[in-house]
Amino acid sequence: MKYYKELTELQCFTRADVERITGNAETANSLLTSYQKKGYIESVKRNLYVAVSMETNQAVPNRYRIASHITDGAYISHHSAFEYYGCANQVFYEVYVSGDKRFEQFEYDDVVYRHIAPRISVGVEEKPDGVRITDMERTMLDSINDFEKIAGLEELLCCLEVIPRINEEKLLEYLERYGKQFLYQKAGYVLNHLKNELKLSDRFFEVCESNVSKSVRYFYNGVEHEQNVFDKRWQLFVPKNLLKIISQGGEVHGGVQQTNIIQTSTGSRVYP
């Protein structure tokens, strides 16, 4: 266990990291093989390893730190960022990872790691625990933009409801970077329902409204088949009462079936 301490300090590491520690490529290869057989480390995917705790027999790093090391520049985003910040209503068995370098979806320790192509590059932070992640404002806009693909409308609203005051200027900057009219419409409509809780000014919604043309959109696919109304300000066909959706638990919204969480000895699993 000569190098075990160094590896546990790294938590996540590559073959190059082991070569740097041992000072020799051949020694590094031998150590990786030996330590995996003895259960000191585990392979997450090709050329990504984690140290294993001798006390718990579990990986030392959590899912968020692992995800931050999948590729150079990888970072946590969308619902997984809400989970990290403690704002999620549910913990999913998937971790959403953004970054310029794509990777094939894979599973490790009952958790699926899934790449989501980023729409913008700003709004990424590195936390003291080594996790790279979108800040709260970027997380909000990414999640509003992609809620039909990730988590669904009900879960999105539950997350937004518990967010403390946010930086309005960052929201506007990121919206401008997105440069997407539909996101101005959706963000304006959704966040207007939480205006007081998030301490958003009238100016924020005026800027959003100024970027909305006369083209009419459906708030999400399928809303045309539900009870809805036309919101003239945002040029959207929307649910009749958006905030009531939160209390309707378990229904399909935004094309995504909401799910329940069951805790197991190996972590959280999602069951329909």
User: In this predicted model, what pLDDT tens digit does every residue of 69-88 receive, in sequence order?
Assistant: 999 999 999 999 999 999 99
CA distance 216 to 134: 30
CA distances from 28 to 25, 71, 120, 226 (A): 5, 20, 38, 60
User: CA angle 171-174-180, nearest 5°?
Assistant: 110
- By C-alpha distance, which of 127, 146, 126, 131 is closest to 78? 146
178: amino acid identity, one letter: Y
Residue 225 is predicted with a pLDDT of 56
Q: Give the strand pairing for 236-239 and 252-253.
A: unpaired
Paired tokens of 62? 């959590």
The per-residue pLDDT for range 130-155, each reduced to its tens digit, is 999 999 999 999 999 999 999 999 99
Task: Note the pTM of the prediction, 2 decimals.
Answer: 0.87
